């Protein structure tokens, strides 16, 4: 069996806000078409890691990034930042429906990338809303406001928007904290389906979610990698580190 190809290569990544370093030189690779989970307690640098990936960290004043991140072999500091962000779909923890119609919410990204042909936009919007398991609920009212949807629907709208620029990598940051278990399960099914086409990075506090979905799991603690291994190993009775075992089993500290 050939080795899976790397889509993201992170080497000695250091991130500091002012003088406070939050990621202390971490290195790992993410393979194509895997679901890669990042678990760890609050303040361990999970969200910061994602923000480094699509360079939205650039918007944070006094954040300094060192080390290198390569996506498909290309250093992300070179090349077009907007294409990079289109390559990486990002779903924030809290649902953000933009104050525009449901249709425009999904069509926003392709339009920003210069797509204006109505028929292609229509197709794309339908495809993304279907992928996000939202189409059946909103197909009758695509022109009503995205912000008028319920929290769970807005979260799926956010996912549809993240898929709308046809990313090759999808990052989900605690996507399920604002939605109910049933919807969560539906989205998890969607993710398993999407895995055939794209790479998924799942940041989560729900260790069970990582166990259910992920191929590999990274346990990040205080900006350092405690353990990175196949999910079965991380959640087994003897993972590489005692800390991992304690965290996963809820007896941390």
Partner 1 sequence: MADRTAIAAPFTQTAFGRRKERYQRIAQWVFLGMALAMIIPLVSIVAFLIYRAAPSLNWNFLVDIPRHGMRDGGIWPALVGTFYLVGISLAVAAPIGVLAAIYLNEYAGDNWFNRLINLAVINLAGVPSIVHALFGLGAFVYAARFGYSIISASLTLAIMTLPVIIASTREALASVPQSFREACWNVGATRWQTIKAVVLPNSISGILTGVILQVSRAAGETAPIMFTGAVFYKAVQRGDFFPYHLTDQCMALSMHLYTLATQVPDVKESVSYATAVVLLGVVLLVNAGAIALRIWMRNRKRW
Binding site for partner 1 (CB under 8 A): 54, 56, 59, 61-62, 82-86, 89-90, 92, 94, 96-100, 108-109, 112-113, 145, 147, 158, 161-162, 164-165
Record the tokens describing residue 236, joined without a space: 């087994």
What is the C-alpha to C-alpha distance for residues 42 and 25, in angstroms, rounded to an integer? 19
User: What is the closest distance, in whole angstroms, from the C-beta atom of residue 118 to partner 1 in the complex?
Assistant: 18
Query: Toward partner 1, which CB reaches closer, 45 or 110?
Result: 110
Category of 18 on φ-ψ map: left (φ > 0), alpha (ψ -120 to 50) or beta = left
User: What is the closest distance, in whole angstroms, from the C-beta atom of residue 96 to partner 1 in the complex?
Assistant: 4
Query: Nearest-5° angle of CA 84, CA 86, CA 88?
Result: 75
Query: Of all helices (H) and strands (E), which one includes residue 144?
Result: none
Query: Toward partner 1, which CB reaches closer, 114 or 253?
Result: 114
User: What is the closest distance, in whole angstroms, from the C-beta atom of residue 164 to partner 1 in the complex?
Assistant: 7
Query: Toward partner 1, which CB reaches closer, 73 or 114?
Result: 114
138 and 153 in contact (C-beta within 8 Å)?
Answer: yes
Q: What is the Cα Rg of the chain in Å?
A: 18
User: What is the closest distance, in whole angstroms, from the C-beta atom of residue 143 to partner 1 in the complex?
Assistant: 12
Query: Toward partner 1, which CB reaches closer, 158 or 183?
Result: 158
What one-character DSSP code corresponds to residue 182?
H
């Amino acid at each position: 069996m050939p080795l899976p190809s790397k889509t993201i290569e992170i080497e000695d990544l250091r991130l500091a806000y002012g003088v406070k370093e939050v990621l202390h030189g971490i290195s790992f690779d993410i393979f194509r078409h895997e679901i890669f989970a990042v678990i760890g307690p609050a303040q361990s640098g999970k969200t910061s890691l994602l923000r480094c990936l699509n360079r939205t960290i650039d918007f944070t004043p006094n954040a300094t990034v060192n080390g290198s991140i390569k996506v498909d072999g290309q250093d992300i500091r070179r090349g077009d930042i907007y294409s990079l962000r289109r390559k990486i779909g990002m779903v924030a923890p809290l649902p953000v429906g933009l104050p525009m119609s449901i249709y425009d919410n999904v069509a926003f990204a392709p339009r920003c990338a210069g797509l204006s042909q109505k028929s292609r936009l229509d197709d794309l919007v339908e495809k993304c809303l279907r992928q996000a398991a939202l189409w059946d609920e909103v197909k009758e009212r695509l022109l009503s406001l995205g912000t008028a949807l319920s929290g769970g629907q807005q979260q799926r709208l956010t996912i549809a928007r993240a898929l709308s620029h046809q990313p090759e990598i999808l990052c989900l940051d605690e996507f399920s904290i604002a939605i109910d278990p049933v919807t969560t399960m539906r989205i998890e099914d969607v993710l398993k389906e999407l895995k055939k086409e794209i790479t998924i990075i799942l940041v989560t506090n729900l260790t069970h979610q990582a166990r259910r979905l992920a191929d590999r799991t990274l346990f990040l603690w205080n900006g350092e990698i405690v353990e990175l291994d196949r999910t079965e190993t991380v959640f087994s009775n003897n993972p590489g580190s005692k800390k991992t075992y304690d965290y996963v089993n809820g007896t941390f500290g």
